Structure 1
């Protein structure tokens, strides 16, 4: 059986990597004891490879990662029943949940053309320059500012709201979501708190999630404009932690600085999404 067609459980460890090249060990012989997204090998010590001592509650978070535990868990009084560990798992949207089939210049050109007819390349540039400037300023209305700039630069009578809707629709049409992603998210949502953590605006990202039937899996959406800080600043992860009460926090994303380094500094367990090689979502679906 070739590596491309084999059991995805056997290919899991080739999918989820930490930046230094060390794999988060998701080997098939260990998957029976995994709960949630497979970010921890529960019941085995990373340092020794042996099961933890009874009552320690130690898992195998990567070195240097702090996993907060509540005082009740630390006391470990004899005869006390441990409550189940709770996990909050946050996902990036663009490049992780949604794959793009066209670059953003093409998306904007198609969106503008649906309203204005053949789009002048200068209008595309005006929109993107304004959008980037306003996003850097953490403006939640960045899309509207871009649409206003385009409307001001054309002689046509243009409704900025119509432009925003057309641009969002053009983006939705050029994004895809693997079916295995829905299956994995459905399984995770049964036991864990799922969230979105994004630098995009709430309206734009919520529109994509709804269009791809993903919205119901997520209980929390954290956006950079609302947090007042953007990835890769670790402070956005501190803000996310304040929104959800959990024992451990996980970030799944494709960007090395924003989705791996920054969350690790904030005490999250990072899981890096890679769209090359074996299917991340099929492997994750097999594990959960």
Structure 2
């Protein structure tokens, strides 16, 4: 029996050592005043553009910022600099890397994430995760995002297996979306919002590093993992 394992990126494998609002301030400050209204406009348009799987969500977000500020920069330049700031603030723990290494040693392994294709892939490259996985599916590349069933079906097609497992931190996008598509979800969360959330997942862990524990993964992928069948 072959079990394919897919990981979410932001919030699951990757976190940030600089808050998002501070990242915005660092990007904008050299060009003008980083107001609360500008940050709110940035977030609203960014998340909407990511949900719509637009090809340049960061540029679209900074276009909205420039409509209400007098920043001395172009939207393209701000987007480029902000993506670099976000990338530098990204953190992947040693435990997260060990989890992916351990899973990939015996199971088909991939990353399935919402976001801009170039930016999400840059995070994987920066933290040396890209070479550990066989498949990377990003919503901005394929035109559909979680929790839509179609992006999970793309992941299944990329990593065929008798069983499909998804590890993520968002209840609606990752757990509900994965379960409805036929995956076995693993919920990464400090405290599930209620019994229904916990019951929707095959396992609940407080951090991805907890999957290093012998009972971190549900059967049949607890240590030792089953041999791969290529």
Q: Which residue of 2 aligns with 1:215?
A: 130
Instruction: List per-residue Cα deviations over 1:105-138 (Å, max 9, x = no partner).
Output: 332222222x425423333233222212322322
User: CA offset at residue 271 of structure 1?
Assistant: 1.1
RMSD: 2.6
Instruction: List per-residue Cα deviations over 1:14-57 (Å, max 9, x = no partner).
Output: xxxxxxxxxxxxxxxxxxxxxxxxxxxxxxxxxxxxxxxxxxxx
Q: Where in structure 1 do 4 or more consecutive aligned residues deviate above 6 Å?
A: 276-279
Q: Which residue of 1 aligns with 2:48?
A: 133
Paired with 1:106 and 1:157, the residues of 2 have a C-alpha distance of 19
8 Å CA contact retained: 1:112, 1:166: no
Residue 192 (structure 1) aligned with residue 119 (structure 2)? no
| More moved, 102-111 vs 212-221 | 102-111
Residue 89 (structure 1) aligned with residue 16 (structure 2)? no
Q: Which residue of 1 aligns with 2:59?
A: 144
| More moved, 269-278 vs 191-200 | 269-278
Match of 2:85 among 170, 186, 191: 170
8 Å CA contact retained: 2:2, 2:162: yes
Q: Which residue of 1 aligns with 2:212?
A: 285
Match of 1:180 among 79, 83, 95: 95
8 Å CA contact retained: 1:108, 1:167: yes
Paired with 1:156 and 1:176, the residues of 2 have a C-alpha distance of 29
Greater RCO, CA 8 A, separation 6+: 1
User: CA offset at residue 265 of structure 1?
Assistant: 1.8
Higher helix share: 2
The count of corresponding residues between Structure 1 and Structure 2 is 203
Paired with 1:278 and 1:231, the residues of 2 have a C-alpha distance of 21
Paired with 2:70 and 2:176, the residues of 1 have a C-alpha distance of 47
> What is the TM-score normalised by the length of structure 1?
0.61
| More moved, 276-285 vs 102-111 | 276-285
Query: Which ranges in structure 2 are unaligned for 5 or more consecutive residues?
Result: 192-203, 215-222, 224-230
Residue 252 (structure 1) aligned with residue 159 (structure 2)? no
Paired with 1:282 and 1:156, the residues of 2 have a C-alpha distance of 41
Paired with 1:278 and 1:266, the residues of 2 have a C-alpha distance of 21
Query: Which ranges in structure 1 are unaligned for 5 or more consecutive residues?
Result: 1-84
